Amino acid sequence: MIQSIDRALRVLTVLAGDHRLSLGEIAQRLDLPPSTVHGIVRTLLPHRMVVQEHDSGHYRLGPAVLTLGNVYLDTLELRSRVAPWAEDLARRTGLAVRTAVMLVEDVVVVHHEPRPDGSRQMPEVGIVIPAHASALGKALLAFDDEAAETVLGGPLRSMSGDTVTDVRALRGQLKTIRQTGLAEEVEEAVLGECELAAVLCDRLGSPVGAIGLVAPAEEWPLDAAVVTALRTAARSVSRELGATSWPPHGDAPKASDMGTRRKRPRPA
Amino acid sequence: MIQSIDRALRVLTVLAGDHRLSLGEIAQRLDLPPSTVHGIVRTLLPHRMVVQEHDSGHYRLGPAVLTLGNVYLDTLELRSRVAPWAEDLARRTGLAVRTAVMLVEDVVVVHHEPRPDGSRQMPEVGIVIPAHASALGKALLAFDDEAAETVLGGPLRSMSGDTVTDVRALRGQLKTIRQTGLAEEVEEAVLGECELAAVLCDRLGSPVGAIGLVAPAEEWPLDAAVVTALRTAARSVSRELGATSWPPHGDAPKASDMGTRRKRPRPA
DNA sequence: GAATATCATTCGATATTGTCGAATGGTTCT
DNA sequence: AGAACCATTCGACAATATCGAATGATATTC
């Protein structure tokens, strides 16, 4: 691992947490001398990954990060495959539909179909939610042992009063999810908001994302028809991605298995 | 400038251009030995700035770039200030409204208010357009000498048959824009699409962005009332950002002036 | 089906390169 | 007016990234 690049990425991460930081503040958070950090931001600056406020000298993220994010979305097969199904689901259920992928200990929303009531809703693409506090995250963790260990090993932040932060309780939930194929979350991330989610798989049977229905607490639990619609959508998207079975059996290759590459799923 | 970080950012840029590249292809495009590039991507990988396809070994951008882009948007004062005005403009004119900022030789759309006809439109936030081929870009270049020189100095890519690629012609356009405060573009970036744009300024009088109306070629030129509405919106947003006059007089401090910092506009 | 070409990856020697402490000039607060 | 803070510059040192060659494994070709 290249030290300076790792540090540069850490600078970006810090800036993503607390927007608008002085050079000294960044240095403090990274436990590095200010002059070292200065060299780093000086390199990020011409690429516009960060910009400097011309009055205070503080640093913030720059427009270049936005273009990268846009390209990521445009080229994500999961997203284009999910889009029509999400639209269909939203119309059928009257609920908002979110699709997310794993990002270390969190999930990132890569697609958001607003609930079809004509109201103006904030687009949620790009938001980050702790995996253990969201149905989307739990649906993924249940079929991704590696990520599950990462999350359960680290500290479990509490998002709301109802966030499940007990490791044993979470392991139990994941086991249930593996059986039913569905993960749920009741006001664990955001008060008044519940979610039902299902994992999405690719041609290797690996979990690559999750799709979920977001409902206000008053409408919880969801109708059986709605649950079925979600399962159908998850299965259909997975099939379009090349998965041969759904829910997955849990023997999918782990993300770190890079030695054993193969284009097609292992023949039985 | 730190070499390895610069190279890492170049890797990301290359990946933003051609999604899905093998290690060797990246190395070739950057004119670097594969082993050097490997060290770089190896560092980007755990941060999920890039991910590796587990079947082909090819690299692509990762979900981490999306979260950065989202934070950038959320913290952009320009964006939050523009949003209500853009909505108002769209309702009043029946046209789509775009807001963009400068990114080296291009502009990046940071806000997009779809035309209010109820149709489903692709969100354009994050897309990149060559500055010289868009009204948004020309509105910015007219008041940003530094950026103008960068763009006019480099090669002027042609986007459509009507793209103006002649430096002298462009300089003439910029002069006109400085007088009228409005920039236009007729099918220069996308065939069948025209745009009228105005610059947005901050408290220092520096151009920080541009707002524009997008119209199909059939509806061009725009009504006088529509033109006035755009001017009013641009002036209003600029005032909310702290600008004391609009259009700007062109004596704004350049982005590179970092020695002379001041919180408020220079008193007269 | 054996042989070749391609590719990602590892390793280690080299000197290039990033690192860090101290100093500078500017600005803001007391 | 003085002190404190801050971004920035500089230069010496050695830690560190770089690159060529080697490896293993996989597709491709004959």
The whole-number Å distance from A125's CA to D1's C1' is 54
Strand partners of residue B102: B107
Q: What pLDDT was estimated at residue A108?
A: 98
How high does pLDDT run on average in chain A?
Answer: 92
pLDDT over 50 (residue A43): yes
Picking from B12, B99, B91, the residue whose alpha carbon sits closest to that of residue B59 is: B12
Nucleotide whose C1' lies closest to the alpha carbon of residue A25: D6
Q: What pLDDT was estimated at residue A255?
A: 55
Residues 6 or more apart whose Cβ sits within 8 Å of residue B182: B139, B196, B197, B198, B227, B230, B231
Task: Please name the member of B5, B43, B108 whose beta carbon is closest to the beta carbon of A67.
Answer: B108
Using an 8 Å Cβ cutoff, are A100 and A124 in contact?
Answer: no
Provide the 3-class DSSP secondary structure of residue B153: helix
Least confident of A5-9, A207-211, B34-38, B242-246: B242-246
Picking from A236, A55, A222, the residue whose alpha carbon sits closest to that of residue B259 is: A55
Strand partners of residue A223: none
Mean predicted confidence (pLDDT) in A65-87: 97
pLDDT over 70 (residue A235): yes
Sheet of strand A96-103, all strands in order from the earlier edge strand to the far edge: A128-130, A106-113, A96-103, A207-216, A193-201, A182-186
Task: Please name the member of B9, B48, B206 whose beta carbon is closest to the beta carbon of A49.
Answer: B9
Between A and B, how many CB-CB pairs are < 8 A? 184
Task: Please name the member of B12, B46, B206 whose beta carbon is closest to the beta carbon of A68.
Answer: B12
Task: Look up the CATH number of domain A3-67.
Answer: 1.10.10.10
Strand partners of residue B103: B106
Picking from A50, A46, A42, A36, the residue whose alpha carbon sits closest to that of residue A3 is: A36
Provide the 3-class DSSP secondary structure of residue B220: coil
Which two structure tokens, joined as six digits, stand for B36? Answer: 């050097």
Cα separation, A160 vs A189, whole angstroms: 6
Q: What pLDDT was estimated at residue B1?
A: 86
Q: Any idea where the domains of chain A sit in the sequence?
A: 3-67, 76-240
Q: Which residue has the higher pLDDT, B42 or A248?
A: B42
Burial of A81 (0-12, 13-18, 19+ CB in 10 A): buried
Burial of A178 (0-12, 13-18, 19+ CB in 10 A): middle
Nucleotide whose C1' lies closest to the alpha carbon of residue A57: D7
Flag residues of chain B having pLDDT under 50.
263-268
End-to-end Cα distance, chain B: 38
Residues of A in contact with B65 (CB under 8 A): 65, 68-69, 71-72
Q: What pLDDT was estimated at residue B30?
A: 96
The whole-number Å distance from B39's CA to D18's C1' is 10
Residues of B in contact with A69 (CB under 8 A): 65-70, 126
Cα separation, B234 vs A169, whole angstroms: 54
Q: Where are the alpha helices (DSSP H) in chain A?
A: 3-17, 23-30, 34-44, 64-74, 77-93, 135-141, 145-153, 167-180, 224-240
State which residue has its Cα closest to the C1' atom of C11.
B35
Q: Is the CB of B20 under 7 A from strand C?
A: no
Query: What CATH number does domain B76-240 carry, 3.10.290.10, 3.30.450.40, 3.40.50.20, 3.40.50.720?
Result: 3.30.450.40
The whole-number Å distance from B24's CA to C5's C1' is 14
Give the whole-number percent of chain A exceeding pLDDT 70: 93
Between the CA atoms of B204, B209, B213 and B215, what dihedral angle is there, to the nearest 10 degrees? 150
Residue linked to tokens 């850490």: A10
Strand partners of residue A60: A51
pLDDT over 50 (residue A103): yes
Strand partners of residue A128: A108
Which two structure tokens, joined as six digits, stand for B240? Answer: 């909310």
Residue linked to tokens 């390209």: A71
Which two structure tokens, joined as six digits, stand for B155? Answer: 């090669």
C-alpha triplet B60, B61, B63: angle, nearest 5°:
130
Provide the 3-class DSSP secondary structure of residue B97: strand
Residues of A in contact with B125 (CB under 8 A): 66, 70
Residues 6 or more apart whose Cβ sits within 8 Å of residue A169: none
Q: What pLDDT was estimated at residue A258?
A: 56
Q: What pLDDT was estimated at residue A264?
A: 43
Picking from B115, B123, B119, B249, the residue whose alpha carbon sits closest to that of residue B195 is: B115
The whole-number Å distance from A71's CA to C27's C1' is 41
Using an 8 Å Cβ cutoff, are B60 and B51 in contact?
Answer: yes
Q: What is the pLDDT of residues B88-108, one digit of tens each?
A: 999 999 999 999 999 999 999
